[in-house]
Chain A
Amino acid sequence: MGVSGGYSGFRVLKEGVFGQKGWKPVWRDPDPKPDYDIVIIGGGGHGLATAYYLAREHGLTNVAVLEKGYIGGGNVGRNTTIVRANYFLPGNSEFYSHSLKLWEGMEQELNYNVMHSQRGLINLFHSDGQRDAFARRGNAMVNQGDDAILLDREGVRAHLPYLDFDTARFPIYGGLYHPRGGTARHDAVAWGYARGADRRGVDLIQNCAVTGIDIEAGRVRGVQTTRGAIRARKVAIVTAGRSGQVAEMAGMRLPIESHVLQAFVTEGLKPVIDHVVSFGMGHFYISQSDKGGLVFGGDLDFYASYASRGNLPMAEHVMEAAMTLMPAIGKARVLRSWGGIMDMTPDGSPIIDKTETEGLFLDCGWCYGGFKAVPGSGFALAHLIATGRHHEPAAKFRLDRFRTGRGLMDEEGTGSQHNLH
């Protein structure tokens, strides 16, 4: 990067020699100014990426990101780190494809190692019908310009020999292989975007909770916060997990219910799972972190919750899925479980849109798939805020699709009303 403070192997060596004394703060801790062009509510992955792309793509740096806790403390810091572009419905397909392309240059772009690892993702299927459904998905991925390979049973065995091919309740018929799918170091994504935004002049303001949104004559004027009033010409709500509460400050009711999704990590183990594996019959997905922990998760707990923690029935169900699918990991021990708050929309797809209030923008409804969307969402929202026009790959994430029925994106086919995803 060549800028002072840049990261490199040489710099790591140099600082090692000089006792690490030269490392500077990754970001500043500015006090909020009374006035900004743009205020982004929410210092999670999406908010930070939005700020970064506002600065990087649009030269807009009189921007503040307001975070009620610490940077990256929301769902970007508590997910299963999967990055993929294997959606098939119009709207989702082009968006996640674009997002994956941004992932692919992220380290160099941010000069920060987010450890994006394209180790390949395999979605297993367990019937002829599921094979056709996955073929439809895979063909859509190829139509979009992404990669997908339909594996038969032996093809899956070649990649994942440790699965139970002989006695599992739902036999493995094959898998949809997405070689460019993978994982990334989740916290690093937040930190990398935060550092990039900060260095371009964006103010990242932690421990600053928004308590009100000021609207006059249908136009947003700024926000009230625990650190004082801040005026702004444009305000974006980027608070997935808490979207309802923040939107309520602007008098909106959103098509969102908040649910808890649990995830789990085992103790560190020598390499055993090289891919991301997803088991649809059991709502189970797993990968192994670079540190050696098996990181896995399953379905929602299925009740509205803001508690950031789950209960045993779903935790046990996830372990049961693991045992029927890959009984070779039975002796791995779960070290920690956690829960994130999911913004669940009726159709399971997100919203990036303007609102009826002039200057107020919304980025929410990421359900349980927000992590991989971080760059794409930030890019698209920055585009929308800066230009007033929807970024083409995200142009179908409209708020009004539920009212009109036009462009619903129900990837799972379970419906477009609440509690079906």
Chain B
Amino acid sequence: MTNITVDGRLLEVDDSDNLLQVLLGLGEDLPYFCWHPELGSVGACRQCAVVQYMNEDDKRGRVVMSCMTAITEGAIFSVQGEKASNFRTSVIENLMLNHPHDCPVCEEGGECHLQDMTIMAGHRDRQYRHLKTTFRNQYLGPFIGHEMNRCITCYRCVRYYQDYAGGDDLSAFASRDRIYFGRSADGVLENEFAGNLVEVCPTGVFTDKILSAHYTRKWDLQSAPAVCTGCSLGCNITVSERYGQLRRIHNRYNGEVNGYFLCDRGRFGAEYVNSDDRIPYCGIRNTDGIYEANSAKNTLVHVGALLRDAKTIIGIGSPRASLEANFVLRTLVGEDNFYSGLSGPEAEIGSLLLSVLKSNIKTPSLAQVEDFDAILILGEDTTNHAPRLALSLRQAVRNEAKNLARDARIPLWADAAVRKLAQDARSPMFILTSSDDRLDDVGIPSRLNPDDIALAGFSIAEAINSHAANDDADNDSRINIASIVEALTNASKPLIVTGSSSSSPEIVKAAINVANALAKHNDNTGLIICTDEANTLAVVSLGEKSLPEAGAAADVAIVLENDLFQRFADAAMEDWLEHVTNLIVIDSLDNSLSSRSDVVLPAATFAEAQGTYINNEGRAQRSFGAFKPKGDIAPSWDWLLRLCHGQDLLQDVQHIDELLRTIAEILPELALIVNAAPDAGFRDHGQKIARMTHRQSGRTAMLADVSVHEPKQPEDDNSALTYSMEGANQAAPGSLRAFTWSPGWNSNQSINKFQDEISGHLQDGDPGIKLFTGSSAVAHFVSDKSGPGSGNIRIRVVPRWHIFGSDELSNKSQAIRSLAPSPYALLNPNTAENLNVQTGDALKLDSGDAPSLPVSIEDNVPDGCVICPVLETTRAYLHLSDGVLSKDDDWTAPDGQEDVIVSDRRP
């Protein structure tokens, strides 16, 4: 700690931060633009100027940029003094010369950092009378709007996009007062994290097109703290609504999980909440086989009768439904009749993950990932399967740069200087995957088929255990086992990343072995296992069986939020459905399974319901709905609770907090879930927490076209949040913070005010709670294969996830759908020859009902792999490791098929 004087006050502060960070951390208001807590300092905007005095006798002082000023013992600063504040006023005056002042029509208005800082810096009267610089805007894809005239040239966008997120198609062009931030030509921004530009940009240059399409001011949004259901990482989001429609997803800061950033699937993938495919009311299929809408009451009576009369009732849970809903279903049907509804490999990998979380192997949070200095990725396509993790890994490889900077005594916040010094020096990150990886540019890639990835993993583990690289493995020219072993064993914090994206439990077992081998010598070893969906872990902890055995009959099957047709091949599904007399589906969107049901109960989405999600780190997080769903639509757990009458255990459970306490009681290992967020009884100074800002305009008139009498706002009995602007609106605990706001700070950057230190934890702790702690040893696995290259090369289908297109729900969002790939089968010339196909042909998966995949041949695909995208139509077939591939003789390339040139087509 170091002593400094600021405006006459003696302060004791951390000298590893710059002055701006220190002052913001102390809760001071000091305007800034180019500095960002995650991007560090470059000194471009000059907005955060203060005056520094050489000593007590120095009365003049000199202007310094607080973001570029290190903390030194005895330093004397003035923030409020006239010289400093006049300078800051001049900066904002100059920044605004070319700004169009179009706040009334700008999407950023009302949550604009530029507005906030302009007010804070005190500039009011404008003297500039000359022409403004104007620019042409670009089309940047379905997610992000572009309005360059608003730009104040703070360089945050390119620093975030290029330096932080690794994108290369957004740049600064031209110079002087003609600097242009955009692409070399119009086109979709390629980076999967481009959406963060919306929040990184301090004004309205990059805007959220989903929000713009039906725009609402921030102050008119009704919001809630939610958890993203797009993958297994559980990023915290703010979900916002107006007029019964979801309007946007914004980042919700969690110092342990997502920090300041989301992936584009999470940010732009929730439009499905407003989809026309939503199931609006209960339906019962009549004797003629026609669906009839029915009231909730009648439907429940009908279902109650079915349940009463049934001898066998089974329940199939869901990795995308809440823990609560899965639990109530399990209770309703009995533990023996509960199935997770996961595909085989996913269920197995989920169980492996659970065993790791209960063991002595540490699973780091996303924030902790950034501290690891050697990384081995085994078969996990992070960018497409668990996207936000890829962004953290990209920061982790910078540890080498940070070490160099420490040696050169360059402060780590001096971003440009650290990057210049380090150039391309990086901590090692070995990427063993089957397909090209978006992290290849900062890693050491090896392309192997999944079997060889697993074998490599086993060899690495063995070599670590025996302190020597296996000679056989070393003979494999594609991969240098010894160098991986050396990097991992020399690292102070080695990290193994794996998951289910290759649908290979074998790879996960190998990864566990590697982590286990490392952990024997290094307590700082970390292991991350990513699963396919948001609540895989919850459903795995409730049951091990994935689906009833073939031929097992059921009088009633209740399927919870799970389109089984996307997990199991059509033939298997038809076989199963044949033995189900009454199929009851609880879901939010119409899908292949719901259209086969006898009864359908409309479920609320995450945007309308409360629920608990357990991410792949074992962190239980509560997600709250922003608005009450329409009509009879209700949370799945609510439907199921209402069916539980006469069921002993849940007889008296009416309230979700009672439900959570029951779960904690029945499942002691999940007991901590009750602490994931404050319960419905929580009050801040006697008040509930407001979902609406206190400036919400027109709430009282919103329904005036229907009736001039203002209706009573709906009550929320299930949480401490209100559907109103009445209530506490500022200092809620992080897990209940519906929006971020502080006086003078209307943008998301107000989060500064609620962190224990800048970029640190939230003052009241980061939302969520880690459920599992364990000290037991994890199992040691033995490879089920003899060695690479031994025997015949098996041709196997390798799933490839796509951030846009592979996730069931976000796929129903139009913008995401527009970026999803068409089906393909990617293979190398050898494999193509083996399968007797060439470009212009197609391959068929499995038999009969699977879709055809046009062949695309690339040299760098590993031998024996046929890489196929995980899509709605293909997913069910991709985890079948014994799946048969054959040429589709009936297929002809449709006209205009991309990637097929005419000469490739055979006559």
Are both chains from one complex? no
Interface residues of B (CB under 8 A from A): none
